[in-house]
């Protein structure tokens, strides 16, 4: 029953993110770590998320796939590293949300001072250096960066987001991406930033 519930959540949120255009058949993956069993459940490679079924969800024990009818994503390493670094979290999203990924393509972190939503969710979003996909190279530096942030950008690639569960991780990605979408419109009109006292007040409220 526990495994069925986890797989159902993976499928449910995969479809939500697909509908929002945050994942597709080639990019993006979701995972949940069951810390009691040590098993990680992750979306398979090359599968359109809208058509994902529970039996296709890959089950990992360390680096070995022990369940699922389709091969695990090659980027399971990102999930493994992030979850090891954040014992308070059980879920990871690796997505290529367009506005955030644009910053990753420019190898730039994000620090908005104009958005209350962004300031409540983040102090900033760092970008770690480029690492080649498909191995541990892509995750180099992620373990340190993710300890103080819920989202970390991967240069020239995408982003990783951690949460206590998939709902929290998805909500953070959706809200942050929307804040950046609005910022891209607002910056052509002349953005009005919050002052230091206002930002500090938001941070206190967040705590």
- Residue spans of the domains in the chain: they are 2-206
Cβ neighbours for 35, distance < 8 A, ≥ 6 positions apart: 87, 90
CA-to-CA distance for 123 and 206, rounded, in angstroms? 11
Out of 3, 75, 174, 177, the active site residue is 75
Assess whether pLDDT exceeds 80 at residue 103: yes
In this predicted structure, what is the pLDDT of residue 207? 66
With bands split at pLDDT 50, 70 and 90, how would you rate the model's confidence at 1? low
75 is catalytic: yes
> What kind of fold does domain 2-206 have according to CATH?
L-fuculose-1-phosphate Aldolase (3.40.225)
Kindly report the average pLDDT of the chain as a whole number.
95
Contact (CB, 8 A) for 33 and 88: no
In this predicted structure, what is the pLDDT of residue 25? 82
In this predicted structure, what is the pLDDT of residue 52? 96
pLDDT tens digits, one per residue of 167-180: 999 999 999 999 99
Question: Which of the 8 DSSP states describes residue 163?
Answer: E
Contact (CB, 8 A) for 42 and 30: yes
pLDDT tens digits, one per residue of 124-165: 999 999 999 888 899 999 999 999 999 999 999 999 999 999
Assess whether pLDDT exceeds 80 at residue 199: yes
The arithmetic mean of pLDDT across residues 56-82, rounded, is: 95
């Amino acid at each position: 029953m526990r495994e069925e519930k986890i797989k159902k959540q993976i499928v449910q949120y995969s479809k939500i993110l697909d509908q929002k255009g945050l994942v597709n058949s080639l990019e993006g993956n979701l995972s949940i770590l069951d810390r009691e069993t040590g098993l990680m459940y992750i979306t398979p490679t090359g599968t359109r998320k809208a058509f994902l079924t529970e039996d296709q969800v890959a089950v990992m024990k360390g680096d070995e796939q022990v369940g699922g009818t389709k091969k695990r994503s090659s980027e399971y390493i990102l999930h493994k590293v992030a979850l090891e670094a954040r014992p308070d979290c059980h879920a990871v999203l690796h997505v290529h949300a367009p506005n955030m990924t644009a910053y990753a393509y420019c190898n730039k972190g994000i620090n908005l001072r104009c958005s209350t939503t962004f300031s409540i969710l983040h102090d900033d979003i760092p970008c770690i250096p480029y690492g080649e996909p498909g191995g541990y190279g892509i995750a180099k530096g992620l373990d340190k960066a993710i300890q103080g942030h819920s989202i970390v950008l991967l240069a020239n690639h995408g982003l990783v987001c951690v949460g206590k569960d998939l709902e929290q991780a998805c909500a953070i990605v959706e809200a942050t991406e929307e804040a950046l979408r609005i910022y891209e419109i607002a910056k052509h009109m002349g953005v009005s930033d919050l002052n230091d006292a206002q930002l500090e007040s938001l941070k206190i409220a967040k705590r």
